[in-house]
Every structure is written in C-alpha cells, then in structure tokens.
A and B are shown apart, each in its own frame.
Chain A
Amino acid sequence: MTTITTASRIPIDGPVETPWKLPYRGNIGMACLIIAESAIFIIFVVAYIYYIGKSLSGPTPAQVLELPIFGTICLLSSSIFVHFAVSSLRKDNLRGCTLNLAATVLLGTIFLATTAQEWYHLIHDEGLTIKTNLFGTTYYSLVGLHATHVVVGLIMLSLTLGLSLTGHVKEEHSEKLEVLSLYWHFVDAVWVVVFLVVYVIGR
C-alpha cells in the first residue's frame, strides 16, 4: 500500500452510472465563436439604430437604398443547400455532398456580387461613401462586417468543395462539415437581422 503513489490509486474501473458521453468540441467551440461574434454584430446594429435619422446631410436611406430581394433569396437558400451537404455526407452520399457544396458556394458568391453591385451603385452613382454622413458610416461598416463574414465563409466552403472534388472528404468528416455549416447558418441569420435593420426599419 505505502509504495503506491496517489496517482496510481485513482480507481480507473469505478462504477459509472451512465455511459460517459460529452458534446463534440467542434460544435461547442463554434457555438462560443457565434456568441462572441453576435456580441460584435449587436454593437454595430446598436450603432446603426442609434444613428438612424441623425445624419446632418444627405443622401438618406429612403433616397438611395433598394430592397436586395434577389441577393437575400440566394443567401438564405444557400443555408438549405449546406444543410443538405451535411446530411448527404452523413449518409455517405459523397456525390450529393459535392453538388450541394457547389450550390452553396455559387449562391453565396451571387449574394456577394449583388452586394458589390449595390456598393458600386451607391458610391459611383449616388456619391455615398463612408465619409459622407452617419448613414454612410454605419451602413458600410455594418453591411461590410457582414460581407467580410460571407467572404470568410466562402473561402472555407470553397476549400471544402476543392477537397471534396479531389475525393478527400469522407463520411467520417461529417461532424467537421457540420461545424462549418453552423458558421454559415450564423452568417445567414445575421443577414436577416441586417436586412430588417438596414432595409426595413432604417428606410
């Protein structure tokens, strides 16, 4: 007894009532990131709402903004496709996974293109920049912050698509793809908030 160190006396076969199952760390880590990112977006949204109608000069949102219906439909539906990509990978349907990933990337890119077009219109035709007034300041920073997240998501999705096209994505990676899809769902959910604040309430 006396020669045995404490470390060795920890009962390793002790009775455990239920099978010991803890959550997957990827999901928890992504959930934490989403909480932190949400806090960042909340601050930008608060600033946007606080400064609605406080601009000292034009143009105003009502004069220049149009509802980005097409881009919104593309982005929100891409969420469905990334969900299908995960569920087909879980069923070991690699072809379905690749096709759905490709659809997600395509729709995300179309959304980004509509945003770029909108910005081009605002800067070139309307002369609204981040310097112009408080509307420009808050609009470009909030929409830009979201677009940055779309770009990051698209880079990761394209990477996965590339790996999947070269046959490196297997059924055992479905948990990891799900983590990525969580991020993409978050980016889409943020767009719903941004859409409501910028294009509905703010206009």
Chain B
Amino acid sequence: MTTTPVLEAIDETLETQGRPPLNVIYEWLTTVDHKKIGLMYIVYALIFLVVGGFEAILMRIQLAIPNNHFVSPQVFNQLFTMHGTTMVFFMGMPILFGVGNYLVPLMIGARDMAFPRLNAFSFWISAFAGMLLYFSYIGGSGLYAAGSAPDVGWFAYAPLTSKVFSPGHSTDYWTLAVFLSGVGSIGTALNIVTTILCMRCKGMKMSRMPLLPWLYLVMAGLVFVAVSPLTAAQIMLTLDRYLGAHFFDTQAGGSAILWMHFFWIFGHPEVYVLVLPAFAFANEIIPVFSRKAMFGYPAMVAASVSIGFISLSVWAHHMFTAGLGPAGNTFFVFATMVISVPTGIKIFNWLATIWGGKIIFAVPMIFMIGFLFQFLIAGLTGIMLSAAPFNWQLSASYFVVAHFHYVLVGAIVFSLFGAFYYWYPKVTGRMMSETLGKWHFWLFLIGFHLTFDFMHVPGILGMPRRIYTYEAGRGWDTLNFIVGVGAIFQAAGTLVLVYNMIHSYYKGKEAGHDPWDAWTLEWSVPSPPPSYNFAIEPTVSSRRPLWDIKHPEDPDADYE
C-alpha cells in the first residue's frame, strides 16, 4: 500500500454554495454534467409520477361504487389515455434513464457520458414532449375552443385515431409527444451504449463490468429496435392525419391490424426496457445486503442478453383476440413462454445470492424482497395470459390490467424505491430515515396488494377494462371498492417517501462516501460526487474493486 499516492482532489463544486439563485438556475439549464442531467430526469419523472398517480386516483374514485357519476365518460377516456401515456413515456423511461445517467459513468469509472451535449439535448427534448402532451388540455381543440386531452387509449388503435373519429388536435399532441419522447430515448440510449463500450476505466473488461451497466447496455440496445418502430409508426399516423395518406385508413384498403403490429413491436420490448433497469438495481442491492458476491454473474449476463433477444419475438401475444391463425398463435405462445426461462434463471440467481448470506434488512433490501416476491407472481399471471385460449377469455379485462400493474408497480416501482434508498446517500451525502422508510414500505406494500391482488378477481368475473362505470349487483362492487382503498394506501406511502426525501436532505445523518460498505466504484468517491467524478482515473482488476481495496489480503481477482 505504500506505493499508492494520496490523491488531493480539488472540488470546485463546493464553491458553488451561496451563489445568486439566477446563476444556479442558469447552470442547471445549461449543464452537460451527467449527474445533473440524471437528477433533472428523475425530478421531471417524479412530477409526472404525481400527475399520473393523481389521474389513477380519479379513475379509482369513479369506479369505487357502481353507477358513479364523479367524472363523465369523455373525461374517463382522457384519464386512462393520459395515465398510460404519462406513466410509460414520461415517468418510467425518464426515471430509469435518469438513474442510468447518474450511475453508469460512476460505476464504470468514467468522468461523464460519451456525448454530454447529446445527453442534455435528449433530456430537454423529452421534457418538451411531456409538456406538449399536457398542453393538449389547453390547445387540444385548436385556438378557438377549450382544450381536450387525447382519449384514444395509450395504444391508440386505428381507425380511432383517424381525423373522422378524432377531430381536433388532441391526438396530434399525443402523436408528437410520443414521437419526440422517442427521439430523446434513442439519443440517451445511444449515449449509454457508447459510454459503456468506449469509456470504461483501465482494467474494466466487459467480464468485470458491474451488472448494472451490463443491463443498461441490453436495455439501451432494446430501445433502438423497440422505440424506433413506434417513431416510424407515429410518422405514418401523422401523414395519415395531415397529408391524407392511407396507412391505417381501412376505407382505402389500409389495415388497422398493421398499426397493432407496429405498436406492439414497440410495446412488448418496452416492458423489458422498463424492467431491465429494475433487475439492474436488484443486481447491485441484493449482494451488498446479503454480504455475498453475486451468484452466477455470467449466467445473469447471458440471461439478460437472451431476454433482450426473445422479447423481440413475443409482441403479438397482445393480439391473440385479433385472430392470428393457428401458426401465429403457436409461435407467439411458445416464444412468450420461453422468455420465462431466462427470467427464472435470474430469480434463482438472486435467491442463491441471498441464500447463506448475512442478510441485512435495511430499507433497500426489504424493497428488494418485495420486488422478488411480486415479480414472481407477475410472471406467473404472465404465463397464464400467454396461453392463447386463456387469453381469449380474459383479454381486455381487469385481469390483464392487474397483471401488468403487478409488473410495473410490484416489480419496477418497488425496485426503483429500493434504489432510491440505496443511492440517495451517494447523491445527497445524507442518509434517509430508516423508520420512515419502513413506514413507506409497509404502507405501499399493503396498498399495492389491496389494489392489485383484488383487481384480478373482477377481471375473472368479466369486468372489461376502460369502462367508466358498471351496474350494481354483478359481484364487482366490493372488489372495486377495496381496489380504491388500496390506492389511498399507496398514495399515503408515496407521501411518506416524499417527506422522507425532503426531510433527510436537510436533517439526515451524514452518509460519508460508503455508508453500505459496498463494492462498486461509485462508492469510492465523495458524496455527492464532484463534477469530474474521479480525480484520477481508477484501475480495476476484478468485479468488486472496492472489495479488493478493503481486503488486499484476499482480493476477488484471485477467484475470477
């Protein structure tokens, strides 16, 4: 150790304290620093999380009792369209890109992303897209009337989106917003891939890279082949609506089914774009709180890559009821079921990592336990729905809604919350309150299970999705009420999180640079990290560089 020099880091970021607020705002607006852009992504996504969550609450109030007239059918259509679009394009993708932006360069020992200005461009164009979507509330009917939000559903099936059935501009706002968000997503994905391939620090071979960058690499690769088709389809839809083209115009021989194919070629890989980062957080958090190295690193990488490939061949399982024919049905049932194999490998590897470890039930870890349990159930209902005959029975029912919310909330949001508690000390330099964190966990867990466990049942009893109200006495009443109560618990849990984040920022315990005794490079720099990340570029010789430093007598490199 005597040969290792002590690095004197000159941290200019500390001198930014106490500057005029206008300068600080200017700095954030013009920044190209990956950490600041990452944080802006996260804050922007959290605003949309609140907006989208509010829309969900309104829908649950409307459905809590039969024959309710809390909102009109038109408003209800707008609510579920805006809720879906917001949560997928303006909450899910940006927040995961934001976390990736923040963490990927730190974990691979780089000072910034490969293209910092492209990074800023991608963020601002996504932010603009989100504002455009909500501007439809003002400008949706043109300048001469009050606005109306898009009401075509988040997958906007043709021919509902044609000028005849969707007059005014609300659908155009939807199209443009999704198109621009796609441009931003492709830009950020390009940046992530290039950063990972070209910016790794010395010694970090692909086989030594932490699993989080690995999964972000697969996720970004999926964005190219999944989001681009949607972008292309939005161009076609705009041509249809403005230049009188006939892509999805059934009157002129166009095909509504073609839109379904184009949408779901995007739509299903999109699920994996969202869930792979959730896996990535689990891959980092579970080993640290089990005090063991990740079990089966090569198998995890292989499983992630194969999930990426298989996910490109499953899209038409969203279209069984459209009639694919026996050959199409067989192929897509088979491909969908096959994807549970690599996913199963992952679950077993996480369990094997926990097995025999010295488990620490800190808040990040309990969220991961919730994630593991709920992701398993979400996968099991997924296998049920992948069987075409079962799907014919339950397609477009609340069973489907419950299934995909189990993935999106039960798996992705739980993993994301775990990641918040885990990396918050790195971002702010303060610990979050453990007590409040446990309150958040239990409130959200109870709320989640009240809402989404009970939502399966009205689906099986025949309640279709996207209806704005229902008759009493069909056996749906009590169940829908319980679902609504669960939503309140979830909202309460989220408020606890918001309070915890704000309170801890000012009053939290000092975190130091490595509060969890973790092993990846981001914990070797001060919290919050200086703008240049690493004063001297690190060199690594194993998958857990900080373990090697803390245990020079027994380095990982001897075993890999």
- Interface of A with B (CB < 8 Å)? 1, 4-16, 20, 22-25, 28-29, 32-33, 35-37, 39-44, 47, 50-51, 54-56, 130-131, 133-134, 137-138, 140-141, 145
- B377 touches A (CB below 8 Å): no
Instruction: For the complex, give the distance between the alpha carbons of A55 and B246 in Å.
Output: 10
CB distance from A194 to the nearest CB of B (A): 14
CB distance from B116 to the nearest CB of A (A): 11
Does the CB pair A28–B198 fall under 8 Å? Answer: yes
Does the CB pair B236–A37 fall under 8 Å? Answer: no
CB distance from B541 to the nearest CB of A (A): 6
Does the CB pair A32–B541 fall under 8 Å? Answer: no
Nearest B-chain residue to A53, judged by Cβ: B253
CB under 8 Å from chain A, chain B span 310-350: none
Does the CB pair B541–A15 fall under 8 Å? Answer: yes
Q: Which residues of A contact B503 (CB under 8 A)?
A: none
Instruction: For the complex, give the distance between the alpha carbons of A11 and B535 in Å.
Output: 13
Query: Given the known A-B contacts A25-B199, A56-B252, A131-B244, are A12 and B232 also in contact in the complex, defined by CB atoms under 8 Å?
Result: no
Count residues of B near A (Cβ-Cβ below 8 Å). 65
Query: Given the known A-B contacts A7-B535, A47-B247, A55-B253, are A23 and B513 also in contact in the complex, defined by CB atoms under 8 Å?
Result: no
Does the CB pair A32–B245 fall under 8 Å? Answer: no
Query: Given the known A-B contacts A36-B224, A134-B246, are A6 and B198 also in contact in the complex, defined by CB atoms under 8 Å?
Result: no
Q: Which residues of A contact B229 (CB under 8 A)?
A: 39-40, 42-43
Query: Given the known A-B contacts A7-B526, A137-B247, are A13 and B3 also in contact in the complex, defined by CB atoms under 8 Å?
Result: yes
- Fill in one digit per residue for B189-226: 1 if any A CB lies within 8 Å of its CB, else 0: 11101100111101100000000000000001101110
Does the CB pair B6–A32 fall under 8 Å? Answer: no
Q: Which residues of A contact B191 (CB under 8 A)?
A: 29
CB distance from B343 to the nearest CB of A (A): 24
CB distance from B490 to the nearest CB of A (A): 36
Query: Given the known A-B contacts A28-B193, A39-B228, A50-B258, are A12 and B536 also in contact in the complex, defined by CB atoms under 8 Å?
Result: yes
Query: Given the known A-B contacts A6-B524, A10-B539, A131-B244, are A32 and B194 also in contact in the complex, defined by CB atoms under 8 Å?
Result: yes
- B450 touches A (CB below 8 Å): no
Nearest B-chain residue to A39, judged by Cβ: B228
- B25 touches A (CB below 8 Å): no
- Interface of B with A (CB < 8 Å)? 1, 3-7, 9, 114-115, 186, 189-191, 193-194, 197-200, 202-203, 220-221, 223-225, 227-229, 231-233, 235-236, 239, 243-247, 252-255, 258, 262, 265, 513-514, 523-526, 534-541, 545-546, 549-550
CB distance from B2 to the nearest CB of A (A): 10
Does the CB pair A37–B541 fall under 8 Å? Answer: no
Q: Which residues of A contact B252 (CB under 8 A)?
A: 56, 133-134
Extra inter-chain contacts (19) besides given A22-B198, A35-B224, A130-B244, CB under 8 Å: A6-B513, A6-B523, A7-B535, A9-B1, A10-B4, A10-B540, A11-B539, A28-B198, A33-B190, A35-B225, A36-B223, A39-B228, A43-B262, A47-B247, A55-B253, A130-B243, A133-B252, A134-B246, A137-B246
Q: Which residues of A contact B4 (CB under 8 A)?
A: 4, 8-12
Does the CB pair A25–B115 fall under 8 Å? Answer: yes
Can you list 9 residue pairs at the A/B interface with Cβ under 8 Å? Answer: A10-B524, A10-B545, A25-B197, A36-B223, A43-B262, A54-B253, A133-B252, A134-B253, A141-B235
Does the CB pair B262–A9 fall under 8 Å? Answer: no
Nearest A-chain residue to B255, judged by Cβ: A50
Instruction: Name the one of A44, A56, A131 contacting B232, with C-beta atoms under 8 angstroms.
Output: A44
Instruction: For the complex, give the distance between the alpha carbons of A24 and B114 in Å.
Output: 10
Instruction: For the complex, give the distance between the alpha carbons of A51 and B252 in Å.
Output: 11
Instruction: For the complex, give the distance between the alpha carbons of A141 and B229 in Å.
Output: 15
Nearest B-chain residue to A41, judged by Cβ: B232
Instruction: For the complex, give the distance between the alpha carbons of A47 and B254 in Å.
Output: 10
Q: Which residues of A contact B244 (CB under 8 A)?
A: 130-131
Does the CB pair A141–B258 fall under 8 Å? Answer: no
Q: Which residues of B contact A8 (CB under 8 A)?
A: 4-7
Does the CB pair A39–B225 fall under 8 Å? Answer: yes
Q: Which residues of A contact B239 (CB under 8 A)?
A: 130, 137, 141
Instruction: Name the one of B7, B193, B202 contacting A20, with C-beta atoms under 8 angstroms.
Output: B202
Query: Given the known A-B contacts A44-B232, A130-B239, A130-B244, are A16 and B194 also in contact in the complex, defined by CB atoms under 8 Å?
Result: no
Does the CB pair A47–B189 fall under 8 Å? Answer: no
Instruction: For the complex, give the distance between the alpha carbons of A74 and B540 in Å.
Output: 51
Instruction: For the complex, give the distance between the alpha carbons of A16 and B203 in Å.
Output: 6
Q: Which residues of B contact A131 (CB under 8 A)?
A: 243-246
The 5 closest A-B pairs by CB, nearest first: A39-B228, A43-B232, A131-B244, A25-B198, A137-B245
Instruction: For the complex, give the distance between the alpha carbons of A5 and B252 in Å.
Output: 71
Query: Given the known A-B contacts A8-B7, A39-B224, A54-B253, are A32 and B190 also in contact in the complex, defined by CB atoms under 8 Å?
Result: yes
Nearest B-chain residue to A35, judged by Cβ: B224
Does the CB pair B541–A12 fall under 8 Å? Answer: no
Nearest A-chain residue to B115, judged by Cβ: A29
Instruction: Name the one of A11, A33, A47 contacting B236, with C-beta atoms under 8 angstroms.
Output: A47
Instruction: For the complex, give the distance between the alpha carbons of A93 and B186 in Å.
Output: 36
CB distance from A63 to the nearest CB of B (A): 17
Does the CB pair A29–B190 fall under 8 Å? Answer: yes
